[in-house]
Amino acid sequence: MPSTDRLTCAICPRPLWSDEQHRYACHPCEQRMADELDQLPGLITELHSLLTPGVRSSTPRLTTRTSTEPQAPLNLGILDRITATTATLDSWLTDWHDHLGWQAPTYRTDPLTEAAAALRNNLPWAVEHHPAIDDFAFEIRDLHRDTTGLINPTKRPRRVGQCPAPSPDSPSCGAVLRYVPGATNVTCRWCRTSWDALDLGAALALAL
């Protein structure tokens, strides 16, 4: 039977098991971060096909447009997401290199793909030694969710209410909660309380 005085995961947060006591994050959270890092380069590649409004595929299409006609404007929201994702991954990789005493990262061809791969490879170290692994996890989750939402709007996070978790200074936390369609849980970015989606619905109804 699990002990009630165990350390908790910095991300979920659920109690850490005996083989996780030396870690900041639990194994399921590590796996989720690994999956998101594996998927981000492919998602960003798909976003490139949406840079021109109205275009949903990177496959070349025949066109009768002459070379003197202006090109369609780029979707600046999509461009911002692409550049922000690359910058965020590079920033975290630089931070990890600093913690490890390594030189700043360099890239051969594709900074996004290479940074994602390097972070993925060094994730086992980070969950054990990096004190800000929770911030990293939430930033990677946000990048993954935002990118997925741009590609498939039905997966875009939706505001579902304010966090009803107890707070030391007020009856409830009150931070905005966002739910991704299809997800089984919702985690408050402020107090880190994690809710089962069905339990959260009941708690929000009681809070009204």
What are the pLDDT digits (tens) for 9-43? Answer: 998 878 898 899 999 999 999 999 999 999 999 99
Coil, helix or strand at residue 194: strand
pTM of the model: 0.70
Of 6-10, 27-31, 167-171, the least confident = 167-171
Residues 6+ apart with CB under 8 A from 124: 30
Q: How far apart are CA 15 and CA 61, in angstroms?
A: 53
Query: In the predicted model, is pLDDT for residue 88 greater than 70?
Result: yes
Please tell me the predicted confidence (pLDDT) of residue 53.
65
134 with 10: CB under 8 angstroms?
Answer: yes
Q: Which two tokens stand for residue 89?
A: 């991954």
56 with 32: CB under 8 angstroms?
Answer: no
Using 50, 70 and 90 to split pLDDT, how confident is the model at 203? low
Residues in the chain: 208
Q: Which two tokens stand for residue 119?
A: 């972070």
Calculate mean pLDDT across residues 46-57. 73
Please tell me the predicted confidence (pLDDT) of residue 104.
95
Calculate mean pLDDT across residues 168-187. 73
Give the pairing of strands 158-162 and 176-179. Answer: antiparallel
Tell me the percentage of the chain whose pLDDT exceeds 70: 75
Q: How far is CA 96 from CA 34, 112, 117, 127, 129, in A?
A: 16, 16, 13, 12, 10
Q: How far apart are CA 132 and CA 189, in angstroms?
A: 14
Please tell me the predicted confidence (pLDDT) of residue 162.
81
Of 53-57, 66-70, 108-112, 126-130, the least confident = 66-70
- Listing DSSP states for 67-87 in one string gives TTSPPPPP-HHHHHHHHHHHH
Q: Check residues 58 and 74 and name the one with the higher pLDDT.
A: 74
